[in-house]
Amino acid sequence: VLQQEGPSTEGIFRRAAGGTELRELREALDCGADVDLGSQPVLLLAAILKVSDFLRSIPCKLLVTDLYEDWMAAMQKASREEKIWELRA
């Protein structure tokens, strides 16, 4: 869901997800429950990554604003392989 919808979701890591839904999903994941992540809203999944401190522990910026146009152009490529190649470049 993050890979498919994330790049086109404005403010994905800035916008808040519902507090109750976030707490319930986090508790389910922490308990090892079988959770269908594919059916979860993209903002909720992004919030789970933020709450878990995974993204916050990365020492440098993940996506720099100077490369915004390049990131968006890469996502317009036709095939998955082309997208991956462009993003790596």
Residue type, 73: A
Question: Which one is predicted more confidently, 11 or 57?
Answer: 11
pLDDT at 54 exceeding the cut of 70: no
CA separation for the pair 84, 80 (Å, rounded) = 6
- What is the DSSP secondary structure assignment for residue 63, as one 8-state letter? S
Long-range contacts of 11-17 (CB under 8 A, 24+ apart): 12/42, 12/43, 12/46, 13/46, 13/49, 13/50, 13/55, 15/43, 16/43, 16/47, 17/41, 17/43, 17/44, 17/46, 17/47
Q: Look up the pTM and report it.
A: 0.55
16-35 pLDDT, tens per residue?
888 899 889 988 988 889 99
- What is the DSSP secondary structure assignment for residue 52, as one 8-state letter? T
Residue boundaries of the structural domains of the chain: 1-58, 59-89
